[in-house]
A and B are shown apart, each in its own frame.
Chain A
Amino acid sequence: GEQVEQRPPHLSVREGDSAIIICTYTDSATAYFSWYKQEAGAGLQLLMSVLSNVDRKEEQGLTVLLNKKDKRLSLNLTAAHPGDSAVYFCAVTTGGLSGKLTFGEGTQVTVIS
């Protein structure tokens, strides 16, 4: 089945700087890619999602890049602020009727003022 690796597991970034989180996946049939944010003690907030026909998407200080050749997905947080401190997860699915999302292990992002 699909395997997703996410790195780094921990990331410290100064306020105003950028941070990048990378996920690699194994199944070339993967069709849909998402990024979620989880603040302490809370549920998962959907940040952004892209279909496999999209290489780049930018929204509200976030950039998602998809490299299907290398099976790599990245999330770039630009101009980090303290509210960005959280755990970030990538999630992928090959589609079909299951709707199953396969998650990366998560990246704990700490924004230092």
Chain B
Amino acid sequence: DPKIIQKPKYLVAVTGSEKILICEQYLGHNAMYWYRQSAKKPLEFMFSYSYQKLMDNQTASSRFQPQSSKKNHLDLQITALKPDDSATYFCASSQEDWGPYEQYFGPGTRLTVL
């Protein structure tokens, strides 16, 4: 059974619209993360949450907003979508946000913005 679920697997959106990417982990972890992988850049850290609190935000834009309704959920809301937002978004989790830093990744949501 998959331990980290991301939904949907593929997502197509139009410029200016808003989408929510879903992430649920069933590893019993206390820390969750979002990363982005695009053709132009290596995997980039976006956010980290620990016990449902934001620990770090490395995105330059407020259009990206994480939402944690439960300890094992960390959704990503993206507003005013742009073609440059096209990428695969990966959710990850670890036991804690401090050592030993073993992060486990979900299968990703591939977002295409037209």
Contact = CB atoms under 8 A, between A and B. Distances in A.
A99 B48 contact: yes
Contacts, number: 79
A97 B55 contact: yes
B42 A43 contact: no
Question: Which of A42, A46, A101, A106: most chain B CB closer than 10 A?
Answer: A101
Contacts of B35: 101
Interface in A2-56: 31-32, 34, 36, 42-46, 49, 51
A41 B31 CA distance: 25
Given A34-B101, A49-B100, A43 B56 contact: no
Contacts of B62: none
Contact of A106 (B42, B92, B107): B42
Interface residues of A, number: 26
Interface of B: 4, 31, 33, 35, 42-45, 48, 50, 55-56, 58, 90, 92, 94, 97-108
18 contacts: A31-B101, A32-B99, A34-B101, A43-B4, A43-B106, A43-B107, A44-B43, A44-B105, A46-B103, A97-B50, A98-B48, A99-B48, A99-B55, A99-B56, A99-B103, A100-B33, A100-B45, A103-B43
